[in-house]
Amino acid sequence: MTVALHRCAPARRFSLLACLAAMLTLGACAATPSPQTTLAPPVPYPPSARERMLRIAEAEWRDWGGITVDLRTPRASRPSRGPGPESNLENFPRVLAYWRAVEDGGAIARNRRLYGMALGGAPAALWGEPAWSAAFISYVLRNAGVDQREFPGSAAHAFYIDGMLADAAAFPATAPFIPHDWDSYPPQVGDLVCADRSDRHLAHWQLRRAETGQFRPMHCDIVVQAGPGEVAAIGGNIADAVTLSRFAADASGRLLPRQPGGAQWFAVFENRLGRLPPWGGAPARISSSGWRPAS
């Protein structure tokens, strides 16, 4: 900030220190940021939102052919290197719809061009990049009627995870999703099971708060079956399609560690859509190991 020199001209009633103090005060006033908008608490949703979420996820999975991958054993089958189902012209509008649920960063424009080439007979790997798995999850939640305020859809899993973590910390009584340690909380139908796909996995989900807003490769799936020995969840862009993955669980239904050398479990986000007052449920609070119902 520029301050006129005459403000510091010598005067009998003002010392140099007083003048400097005045300058600092003016500078401080000019640099004061505008007040930040206070985020309103999330609102509760009826059970129908949760039911729609599951219906949409399962319907999309069936539309893609009901593809299933078994990740319970080592060296499970992996996607082929060639063009997958996403490159099928029949599936172009499906992935397009997912991207319309988020800020697409040019993904739609790029793949529209490829689609035009493919219609003309030229080889084109449609929807090969960027990854659309987070767009799929966002599409499911948005079309289930969950607003952006309660689920901040994004083209990156890490960023909607940031939103869920922030809401759980600030509004534990009304947050629609709350995090749990993946090795101590048995996932339930409707929950999100999330993994860290980076080269340097976070040791605990709470560590993500220190890097809020920074990109980290992650992946989440929607649980559709859960019980002793197995958790099944639907996610996007697995084997280049919407796919049901089967994960290993213990006798209590808790997830078992994933195979080394790939994505590792990050957290389970409990889905409380339709389970908070006035439809039922209890507030939750954070603890050193995760979230627990308030006593």
Return the amino acid letter for 241. A
* Inter-CA distances, 76 with 128, 138, 259, 262, Å: 22, 27, 9, 12
Interval 228-260: pLDDT, tens: 999 999 999 999 999 999 999 999 999 999 999
Check pLDDT > 90 for residue 282. no
Name which of 289, 286, 284 is nearest 175 in CA terms: 284
pLDDT above 80 (res 285): no
| Whether the Cβ atoms of residue 85 and residue 240 lie closer than 8 Å to each other | yes
Q: Pick from 197, 194, 176, 179: which is nearest to 255 by CA? A: 194
pLDDT at position 75, please? Answer: 60
- Band of pLDDT at residue 74, cut at 50, 70 and 90: confident
**CA nearest 77: which of 257, 201, 259?**
259
Six-digit token string for 282 = 């209890």
Task: Give residue 234's identity as a one-letter amino acid code.
Answer: I
- Of 284 and 145, the one with more pLDDT: 145
Q: Return contacts of 69-74, CB within 8 angstroms, 24+ apart.
A: 69/238, 69/239, 69/243, 69/244, 69/245, 69/246, 70/246, 71/245, 71/246, 71/247, 71/248, 71/258, 71/259, 72/230, 72/246, 72/247, 72/248, 73/248, 74/259
What is the pLDDT of the chain when averaged over all its residues? 85
Cβ-based burial of 35 (10 A; exposed 0-12, middle 13-18, buried ≥19): exposed
CA 112/CA 92 separation, integer angstroms: 9
Give the max Cα distance, the chain.
88
Tokens of 174: 């009304």
pLDDT, residue 124, reads 87
Residue 9 has pLDDT above 60, yes or no: no
The pLDDT score that the predictor gives to residue 13 is 40
pLDDT confidence of residue 123: 87
Q: What is the pLDDT of residue 30?
A: 33
The 3-state secondary structure of 25-68 reads HHHHHHHCCCCCCCCCCCCCCCHHHHHHHHHHHHHHHHHCCCCE
